[in-house]
C-alpha cells in the first residue's frame, strides 16, 4: 500500500522555471535581484515598512532580537509550546528565555500567563502562531504597550492565516516567517523578518550579510567600490534561487491553503464523533494556516503504540511540537503544565496540499482502530 507522508512540499513546473531563470541570470547567490524583488513583494503583501529575506526563521528571530537591542541579563517571555527556535534566539544574545504556558484549547500562548511573568528584567515577548494558528494578539499588544515591552510574532507556521481579518505576519511590530519544506509556502529552507520600522529592517539586512551591504548592488557601481564592515554580522542570506521559488509559492498560497483547509475539514468531519480524539479548535476571530493537523488523544490512549501502528501502515505521524521548558538544554525553573500535557498527548497527522480524500479516509480508519486497540488498562 502506498505510503502517506506526514508532510509533502507542493513544488512543480512553475518553480522549476523560476530556478532556470535564475541560472540564466548568472547570480544564484543571496541579496541579488530576485531576493530584492521578494523583499519588496513581502513588504507590499504584509503592509510593512521593511522585509528582510534570510536563510531561515531562526535567523530572522536572532536578527530581530539584535535589532531590538536585547542585551545579556535581559528576560524575554516566550511561548512554551513550540519548536524551540524563539528560546534559542534569546539564548543567542545571552538573554534569558522565560517560558509562558499556553491555552489548553488552542495551544497558543496564554496572555494571562505572559502578564503574570513580567518582572523588572523583562524587555519583550515572543508570541508563536502555534502550528499555524495565530495567538491572541489584541491582549498581547495591550500587555506589551502597558509595560513598555516589544512584541515579536513568530509566524513561522502561519503564512496565510488571519486574526481579526489581518494576515499572520502583520500582527506585531516585528514578525518572523519560515519557508521550511513543511510550510504552506516553501523554498525548502528560508525565512523573512518583517517590521513596521524601515530602519530596523535595514539594520537586520546588514547583519544578515556579515555586516556589509549587498555585494550584488556594489558590483553594479562603476569603478571598484570596496564594502565596509559596519557590524559583526552573520551569513544569514537567502539565495536568489530560493527567492525565485518563493515568489512563485507566494502567488500560489491561496490555492495551496484552500487545499489544506479542505483536508482539515475532512479530518474534522471524520473525527467529530470520536470521544478519544479532540480535533483542533479554531476560534471564530481567526483562521488557521494548517501547517500541521494536530489532534489531542485521550489520556487513556497509548500514543506511542498508536504512532507505531500508523507507521506500520505507511502513515506518517509526529508528536506535535515541544514543551520547551522540559528540554534539558534550558534547565529552567518555570513550569507550564498545560504545555506539558499537550506535549504528551498531541499527535500530528499527515497534512499537506497533495493529500487526497481517500488518503485522509485511510488515515482516519487506521487511527480509529489504533486508539481502540491501544487504550491503557
User: b/e for 229-265, b at 16 or more Cβ within 10 A?
Assistant: eeeebbebbbbbbbbbbbbbbbebbeebbebbbebbe
Q: Residue length, the chain? A: 377
Give the three cell numbers for residue 334.
518555570
Q: Which residues are catalytic?
A: 183
Q: To 10 degrees, what angle do helices 33-46 and 13-25 make?
A: 130
Q: Which residue has the cell 489548553?
A: 104
Contact by Cβ (8 Å): 170, 48:
yes
SS3 138: helix
Conformation bin of residue 190: beta by default, left when phi > 0, alpha when psi is -120 to 50: left
Give the other-Cβ count within 10 Å of 64's Cβ.
28
Amino acid at each position: 500500500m502506498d505510503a502517506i507522508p506526514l508532510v509533502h512540499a507542493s513544488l512543480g513546473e512553475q518553480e522549476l522555471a523560476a530556478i532556470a531563470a535564475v541560472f540564466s541570470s548568472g547570480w544564484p547567490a543571496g541579496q541579488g535581484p530576485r531576493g530584492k524583488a521578494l523583499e519588496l513583494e513581502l513588504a507590499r503583501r504584509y503592509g510593512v515598512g521593511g522585509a528582510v529575506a534570510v536563510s531561515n526563521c531562526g535567523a530572522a528571530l536572532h536578527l530581530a532580537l539584535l535589532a531590538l537591542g536585547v542585551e545579556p541579563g535581559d528576560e524575554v517571555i516566550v511561548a512554551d509550546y513550540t519548536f524551540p527556535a524563539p528560546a534559542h534566539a534569546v539564548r543567542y544574545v545571552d538573554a534569558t528565555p522565560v517560558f509562558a504556558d499556553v491555552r489548553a484549547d488552542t495551544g497558543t500562548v496564554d496572555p494571562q500567563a505572559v502578564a503574570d511573568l513580567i518582572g523588572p528584567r523583562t524587555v519583550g515577548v515572543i508570541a508563536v502562531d502555534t502550528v499555524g494558528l495565530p495567538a491572541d494578539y489584541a491582549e498581547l499588544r495591550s500587555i506589551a504597550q502597558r509595560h513598555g515591552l516589544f512584541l515579536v510574532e513568530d509566524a513561522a507556521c502561519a503564512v496565510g492565516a488571519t486574526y481579526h481579518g489581518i494576515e499572520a505576519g502583520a500582527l506585531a511590530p516585528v514578525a518572523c516567517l519560515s519557508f521550511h519544506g513543511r510550510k504552506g509556502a516553501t523554498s525548502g529552507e528560508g525565512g523573512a523578518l518583517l517590521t513596521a520600522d524601515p530602519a530596523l529592517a535595514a539594520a537586520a539586512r546588514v547583519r544578515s550579510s556579515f555586516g556589509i551591504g549587498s555585494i550584488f548592488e556594489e558590483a553594479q557601481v562603476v569603478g571598484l567600490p570596496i564594502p565596509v564592515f559596519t557590524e559583526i554580522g552573520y551569513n544569514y542570506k537567502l539565495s536568489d534561487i530560493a527567492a525565485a521559488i518563493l515568489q512563485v509559492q507566494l502567488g500560489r498560497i491561496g490555492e495551496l491553503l484552500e487545499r489544506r483547509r479542505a483536508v482539515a475539514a475532512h479530518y474534522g468531519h471524520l473525527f467529530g464523533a470520536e470521544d478519544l480524539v479532540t480535533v483542533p479548535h479554531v476560534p471564530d476571530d481567526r483562521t488557521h494556516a494548517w501547517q500541521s493537523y494536530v489532534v489531542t488523544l485521550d489520556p487513556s490512549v497509548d500514543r506511542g503504540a498508536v504512532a507505531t501502528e500508523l507507521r506500520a501502515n505507511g502513515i506518517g505521524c509526529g508528536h506535535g511540537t515541544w514543551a520547551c521548558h522540559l528540554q534539558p538544554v534550558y534547565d529552567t525553573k518555570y513550569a507550564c503544565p498545560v504545555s506539558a500535557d499537550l506535549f504528551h498527548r498531541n499527535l500530528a497527522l499527515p497534512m499537506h496540499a497533495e493529500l487526497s480524500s481517500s488518503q485522509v479516509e485511510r488515515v482516519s480508519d487506521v487511527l480509529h482502530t489504533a486508539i481502540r486497540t491501544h487504550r491503557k488498562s
